Every structure is written in structure tokens, then in C-alpha cells.
Structure 1
Amino acid sequence: MNLLLAVAFVLCWSSGFIGAKLGAGSADAVTVLMWRFLPLALVLGAVAVTRARAAWRGLTARDALRQCVIGALSQSGYLLTVYYAIQLGVSSGTTALIDGTQPLVAGALAGPLLRSHVSGRQWLGLCLGVTGVLVVTSADAAAAQGVEPWAYGVPFLGMLSLVAATFLESRSRTVVAPSVAMTIHCATSAVVFTALAVAAGAAVPPAETSFWVAVGWLVVLATFGGYGLYWLVLRRSGVMRVNTLMFLMAPVTAVWGAIMFGEPFGPSTAVGLAVALLAVVVVRGGAARTALGNNSGDVPARRADNGTWV
């Protein structure tokens, strides 16, 4: 995996937690999400009609419906739970911690669902990653005041939603262009969040400048950057490799939060960051050697039926 691509993915995905905190101070979660996706869906739809028609050729109704389901899981379900968790008082670091358990869940399910081998080195990296994320966020979670215990289950549901979307995409035999997939996903989310905002009486955006700053932040960094790179890295490297990078989200979010919001950054955060980085090195090192062994000489990698590259 290209190092710059991996770094960009981690930073852009982490920016979503920061953007959610920015938006939570000025409007309801569904209001922020509606105005994040409604104009974005309109722009992407216009581009699809005027300039990207070729990418849509051959897309069947079944493929489009599958992408709608993937979008509802990976965007609508995932983001709604993250935003509401932060709105309920769960800190961005703790939310990132719960989301950080996604690779462990995906790793445990990779064998039976994708019929792929999960090596001992990969399990070691996964365990190290979880340890690093726990160290980074445990102090923040212990210091939380006034947060209902059930609120911590909200981002957990979002994590499961993203895991389901990842496996649904990985098991697909049809390769859909990233631009097409993003357009369908954003259109699906725009419909979902607009309906929820209208039903809740929260469709009218606030007049505060901070609200539109948060919306712009989320569209550019989190959607085009984080979400777009997520599927790009997934298709190039597979479920195990991309999910290993998810371990870095909590420590990166903690550092970012300390810089932007003055959140505490102590020795435990530094130790957790080091352990998470070690986890990435362990898993990527093993994956690199496996790839060299399977693709010696001039034999190129091929795409497996389950959507991963081998």
C-alpha cells in the first residue's frame, strides 16, 4: 500500500470525528448530516449526468440497489451513530475507541465470511492495535461525567454497520467505479438524512458561520477524503490491511483534539500511539512478505472473486 495514500486516509478519516464535534456545537446531528449530503448528492448527480456517463455503463439495477444498501450501512448508519454519540456527550476519543474495535470484528469474521486465511501475525497485530487504542482512550472514558451508559452502545452499532458494509462490498463480484459508488452512497444518505431531519423538524440550518464551516470541513475532508479513500484502499489492499489502519484513528483523533480543542494529551496517549503504530508495522510487514511470495517474478496480482486483491 502506498504510504502517502495510507497517511491521507488516516488523516481524512480522523477529520470526521473532529468535524462532528465542530458541528455538534451548532446544530442537531441530523441537521448537520442533511446539509452535508444534500448539496453533495446534487453536485455528484450533476457530474454523473454531464461528464461521467461512461462510468455508469453496464451498471444493473441489482448493482445499484446493492450500492444503496452499502451506502445506507457505511454512511447513513455509521455516521448517524457517531454524530449522536458525540451529541450525547461521548467524547471523540471514546467514539474513536469503539470504532477502533472494527478491525478485530472484521478479522474474526474474515475467515468464515470471505474464506480467507487470517495468520497469527495478523492476529498479533490486531491485538496490539486494540491495546494501543484502549490505552489512548481509557483515561478519557474514565473521566467522562454525565454520560448515560447506554450512549456508549450507539457508536458500537455504527461500527457493526460499517463492518457489514465492508463485507457486503468485499463479497460482490461486480466492480463498481469509485465515482459511481460514492454518488449512489451520497444520494442514499441525502435521502435518509433529509427524511429524518424533516420528520424531526430540524431541516432548517442555523445561521451561525461555525455550522457552515463544519459542513465544508466534513464534505471536503471526511467525505471526499476519508470515505473516498476508504473504498480505494479497501479495493487495492483488502479488508485486513485497510482495517489495520483503522487502529490509528483514535490516537490521531486524540492528538488532533488536543491541538484544536485543548483536550488532554498525556503519556498514555503517546504510549498508545506507539503501540498502534507497531500494530500497523506488524500486519503490513507480514502482508508484504506474503505478497512477495505469492507474486514472484513478473506475475501480477489478480482480483479474487470476493473483491480482495491476492
Structure 2
Amino acid sequence: MSAAGLASPPPRLSGRLRGLVLIVLVEAALVVCWSAGFIGVRFASDHAPIFLILLWRSLVSGLVLLPFALAMGPRLRIVDVAFQMLLGALAMAGYLSGFALAIGMGVPTGLTALITDMLPLAVALLSWPILGQALTGRQWIGSFIGLAGVFIASGWSLKVADVPLWAYGLPVLGTLSLALATLLQKRSAVNAMPVYQSLCIQCLSASAIFAGLAWHEGGVLPVMEARFAGGILWLVFVATFGAWSLYYLALRKSSPARVTAVLYLSPPVTMIWAWLMFGEPLSWAMAAGLLVSLAGIVIVARARMPVHAA
């Protein structure tokens, strides 16, 4: 056998390796962009009310994508549009409201990221009634280990943050809303719709919800300041186009349990980012909580979902 033959990997193995590398790269970019969303909201919240920020983030994102959604891709059917509007209400309006309000009320940015990244546990709770899939014992153990890490980290925060106790429940509600949208999207035939079309519909439908909330909060007109505009652009192009596109792309290439488990990696990035930009304190308790949560990630990500007959 020639040296060239020895050096060439089997085609099937090479294809699997490329697929694995692609998934890892997508997941790494997802972690960075997902963390950017928390930082963007934290930055913009110093210059405008929360729902005004979410309104203009969603509206600008949807309007930028609208020409592409109308001119490219398959023809939009009413049933598909209606389903994406439901996902927009859950994954956009519900999830974003939960963590943004928590940050606006003073819950530390990194801790908010950690709480919202309890998605594997939320997916575990909702997988059976929605997908008919019961998680393995290993996945349950990993999810609860991740949850234990959240309690370790948040115990320190409760002592140093002057925040109402119920505010810590806001990101939990947002997480359950996103988990529900994730599982509904996974079981639906709408997966064939291009990401830019689904994201456009979801952003515009969420902006309608945020418009009503922003009006009640004080108004819908944008704040005419460079920092507000910069924060919105950051949230549009990095935290929306980047994070949500990568999220749905990863969801189509992998399982909900793995994708949501990977998002546990965003809290360390968010905490360090918030410390550098806003001087938010770090602690050994938060570091210990992160390590415990990361251990839960490994368990959940390496476990396989059992196969059930349809």
C-alpha cells in the first residue's frame, strides 16, 4: 500500500470529522453571540427603558430581514406564518422579557445568564408531554447538577444584590418560555423554512408585543442618543442575527438537549465580560457554581436520548 493511501482517511470518517468540526464551530460562535445579548441589554439599559430597548431590537431586526424573507426562499403560507408568530411570542417576547427585566431590576448580568441557561432542565421537564421523549437517567442527573451550580452561584448574589427576591424568577419564566418554543419548533414541519424567514416573522411579531409594553412603560419613540443607537445595533446584528440564527442552525444539526446544554458555556463569558465592562463583581461562589454547572453540561451533552416508537 502506498504512503498516500495510508495518509488518506476513510471517506466516511473524514465526512464525520468535518461534520463534528462544523457543529463545534457553530456552537462556539453561538456561545459568544448568546453572551453578547446579555451584555447588550445591560449596556442599553443605562440609556433607555427595558421594553423600549426590546421593541427597537426586534423591530429593526425584523425590518432588515423583511426584504429577504419576501424575495427569497419558499412562498410563505398562512399556517407557517402563524406558527412562527407563536414562536416569536414564546422564544422572543417571553424569553427576552424575562432576562431583560431581571437585568434591569439589578440581578447581576452573569447570574442572569446562568439562570436562563437552565434550558436543559426546562427541556427535560417539557420533552415528555411535547415530544413523547423521556430523558435518560444520566441526562436528568446532569440537568440537576447544572441546577445545583445555579443555586451555588446565586446564593452569593442574593447577599450582595439589593434586588427583590421575585426578580430572580423572571429569567426562570423566560427560560421555560424558550424551552417550550424550542420543543415546538423541533417537532414541527416548519423546520424546512429558512432561518432568515422564521427569524423575520418572530422578530416582527415580538416587536408588536413589545410595542404595547413599551407604550405602557412610557412611549415607543427611540432615545436620540449615540449610545442607545449603538446598543440597538449591537443587539440587532450580534445578539439577534448572530445568536438566534446560530441557535436554530445548531438545533437543526443536533438535539435540543445538546444545544441547550452547550449554552451553559455562555455564563462564564458573560460574567467576565460584565466584570470588564461594568465592574460587576466576581466571587469564588460564582466560580464554583459555574464549575458545577459545567460538569452538568458534560453529562447532558454526552448522554443520548432514548429512541421511542412513534
Measure, in 2, the Cα distance between the counterparts of 1:200 and 1:121: 45
- Equivalent residues of 2:60, 2:236 under 8 A apart: no
- 1:128-171 Cα offsets, whole Å, 9 max, x none, are 222333333331232111x2223223222212211221122122
Using a 3 Å threshold, how does the CA distance of structure 1 residues 253 and 133 change in structure 2: closer, same or farther? Answer: farther
Match of 1:300 in 2: none
CA RMSD of aligned residues (A): 2.4
TM-score using structure 1 length: 0.84
Distance in 2 (alpha carbons) for counterparts of 1:241 and 1:43: 30
For the Cα contact (< 8 Å) 1:136–1:251, is it kept in 2?
A: no
Separation of aligned partners in 1, 2:164 and 2:94: 21
> If the length of structure 2 is used for normalisation, what is the TM-score?
0.84
Paired AA for residue 150 in structure 1: W
Check conservation: 1:28, 1:202, Cα contact below 8 A.
no
Q: Quick one: structure 1 residues 49 and 114, their matched pair in 2 at CA, closer, same or farther if it must change by over 3 Å?
A: closer
Distance 1:160 1:284, change over 3 A: closer
Query: Which of 8, 29, 34 is residue 8 of structure 1 equivalent to?
Result: 29
Q: 2: CA distance between counterparts of 1:275 and 1:125?
A: 10
Q: Select 1:221's aligned residue among 238, 253, 261.
A: 238
- Structure 1 22/305 Cα, relative in aligned 2: closer, same or farther at 3 Å? farther
SS in structure 2 at match of 1:174? helix
**Structure 2 vs 1, CA of residues 248 and 142 (structure 1 numbering), >3 Å: closer, same or farther?**
farther
- Counterpart-to-counterpart distance in 2, 1:150 and 1:275: 24
Residue of structure 1 equivalent to 2:249: 232
> Are 2:283 and 1:262 equivalent residues in the alignment?
no
Query: Which contiguous aligned blocks of 4+ residues in structure 1 show a shift greater than 3 angstroms?
Result: 198-201
Native 8 Å contact 2:62 2:199 kept in 1: no
Residue deviations 1:52-80 (CA, integer Å, cap 9, x gap): 1xx133x4211110110001110012112
Aligned in 2, Cα 1:190/1:6: closer, same or farther, shift over 3 Å? same
Q: For the residues of structure 1 that align with 2:232 and 2:113, how far apart are their CA atoms?
A: 20
Show the counterpart of 1:109: 126
C-alpha contact 1:33 1:193 (8 A) present in aligned 2:
yes
75-84 vs 243-252, which moves further: 243-252
In the alignment, which residue of structure 2 is the partner of 1:48?
Answer: 69
Deviation at 1:222, TM superposition (A): 0.9
Which blocks of at least 5 consecutive residues in structure 1 are unaligned? 295-303
Supply the AA of the counterpart residue of 1:221: V
Structure (1 or 2) with the larger CA radius of gyration? 2
C-alpha distance in 1, partners of 2:44/2:86? 26
Confirm whether residue 201 of structure 1 aligns to residue 218 of structure 2.
Answer: yes
- Aligned residue pairs: how many? 288
What CA deviation, in whole Å up to 9, does each residue of 1:144-200 have, x standing for no partner?
Answer: 11x222322322221221122112212213322212111111111222223333344
**Equivalent of residue 173 in structure 1, options 189, 200, 207:** 189
Aligned AA (1:89): G
- How big is the shift at 1:305? 11
Deviations 1:205-253 (A, max 9, x none): 2232221121111112210111111111112112111121232233332
In structure 1, distance between residues paired with 2:178 and 2:63: 24
Identity %: 38
Question: Are the equivalent residues in 1 in contact too, given 2:55–2:211 (CA < 8 A)?
Answer: yes
Q: Give the Å deviation of 1:9.
A: 0.9
2:164 paired residue number: 148
Aligned equivalent of 2:53: 32
Q: 1:137, 1:250 within 8 Å by CA — same for their partners in 2?
A: no
2:144 pairs with one of 127, 130, 134: 127
Look up the match of 1:301: none
Q: Does 1:81 align with 2:98?
A: yes
